[in-house]
A = this chain, B = another copy of it.
Amino acid sequence: MAERWLAHSIVATRGVGWARKPRLHHLTEAAQGRFHYTIGPYSEPVLTVAPGDRILIETRDAFEGAIRTERDKPSKRLRMPFVNPQNGPIMIEGAEPGDTIAVHIERMRPRGENPRGTCCMIPYFGALTGTGLTASLQPPLPEITRKIHVDEKEVRWSARVVLPYAPHIGTLSTSPEIDSINSLTPGPHGGNMDLPDMGPGSITYLPVRSPGARLFIGDAHACQGDGEVCGTAVEFASETTIRVDLIKSWALDWPRLERQDFIMTIGSARPLEDATRIAYRDLVLWMEAEYGFDRWDAYMMLSQCGRVRLGNFVDPNYTVGAGISKKYLAPEGK
C-alpha cells in the first residue's frame, strides 16, 4: 500500500529497519493508560518497537475529550498545563543520542462519535488577542466552542462552508536530554509544531537526545490553516498509523520533514523571524552537506525558490517550515 516515492526517500536509503518486514503494534487508549502533558526523559515507556515497525495509535483530541458540546467552555473544562495529551513514550530499539528517528505517517482516521471535531476560542489564546506572553489589559475575545462533523472525506465547518479532510499530527516529539517540555511548546525536539505538512504521506525526522528516542505523539487535526490563527485547529481523536525507523549517526539540530515533492526544515522560536531563520539556515546547511551545493549558491538559490509554511504563530514558540522542491535537488545532468 506504500506510495512508490517512498522507495527513494531518505529513510528508505538510510533507515536501519526499512527493508524489514514490519511488525504492527497497537497503542490503544487502554494500553496508553495515563497520557502525558510534558515531553521528557522522566516518564515510563508504554511500548518498545524495533526500527521499521508500524504502530497504530489511538490519540485523544487536544482537549482530552473534555469539550463535548458547544456549551462547554474551555475555561471551565480545561486546566493548564493538562492539555494536549500525548501518547508515548515509545522506545525505539537501538536509538542513541546522535541518531535520528524517522516517523512516516501512513494514515489518520477519525475516531468516536460525530461531531468528532472541536474548535474553540480560548480566552487570551490565539494570534489576534493579547496572551500570557503578549500581555495586555484588554478584555478577552468571546469564548466560543464549535463542534464539527469530521469524516475521512470532509470537515463540515458550517452550513455554508465544507472543507476537505486534510489531517495532520500537531505534536510529534522525541525527548530532550534532561529537560521536560510541556506539550504546548515546540522546539528543537519537535513538540507542538502544528505544521499542516505533517500528515499522511510525510516523513518527519527527529533528533535522538535520550536513549531509545522516547517518541511522543498526539494532537491530531482534521484540517488546519497556516498559522492556526485562532489558536486551535479542528481537533479530533484519531487512529493514526505510523511507521518508525532509525537512522544511525545522523545528528540533527532541528526536525526535518520529507514528502514526495519536497524536503523541509523546521524551526520553532520567537519572534517569528527567528523561527524562519532557523529553518532556512538548516536548509542551506543541509543542501551543502548532502546535496552537493555550495553554501552561498544554496543561500542565493533559496532566495529564488524556497517555500515557507507557517505552522503556528500562537504557541509559546512559533513554527516555520522552509522547503525546496526535490526537482531542484537533482544532481547536475539529471
Contacts and interface: CB of A to CB of B under 8 A. Distances in A.
Interface in A312-334: 313, 318, 322, 328, 330-332
Contacts of A278: 132-133, 135
Interface of A: 37-38, 40, 42, 81, 119, 121, 126-130, 132-142, 144, 146, 155, 157-161, 163, 177-182, 223-234, 253, 267, 269-274, 276-278, 280-282, 284, 295-297, 299-308, 310, 313, 318, 322, 328, 330-332
Contact of A299 (B38, B128, B135, B277): B128
A269 B317 CA distance: 10
Per DSSP, chain A at the interface is: loop
Contacts of A161: 301, 305, 328
A137 B274 contact: no
A317 to B, nearest CB: 9
Nearest to A146: B300
> How many chain copies does the complex carry?
4
A183 to B, nearest CB: 10
A42 B136 contact: no
A125 to B, nearest CB: 11
Given A133-B274, A270-B271, A276-B127, A304 B139 contact: no
A332 B307 CA distance: 34
26 contacts: A42-B180, A81-B177, A126-B299, A127-B276, A132-B278, A133-B274, A133-B277, A135-B282, A138-B139, A144-B296, A155-B304, A160-B331, A160-B332, A161-B328, A163-B328, A179-B181, A179-B182, A223-B305, A226-B308, A227-B276, A229-B302, A269-B270, A270-B273, A271-B273, A272-B273, A273-B318
A178 B180 contact: yes
Contacts of A226: 306-308, 322
B128 A280 contact: yes
Contact of A304 (B234, B296, B305, B318): B234
A66 to B, nearest CB: 18
A42 B42 CA distance: 7
A133 B272 CA distance: 10
Given A129-B138, A136-B281, A225-B307, A121 B81 contact: no
A322 B230 CA distance: 14
Given A128-B136, A128-B138, 9 more contacts: A38-B178, A38-B179, A126-B303, A128-B137, A136-B138, A136-B277, A225-B306, A225-B307, A270-B270
B306 A163 contact: no
Given A177-B81, A304-B224, A229 B299 contact: yes
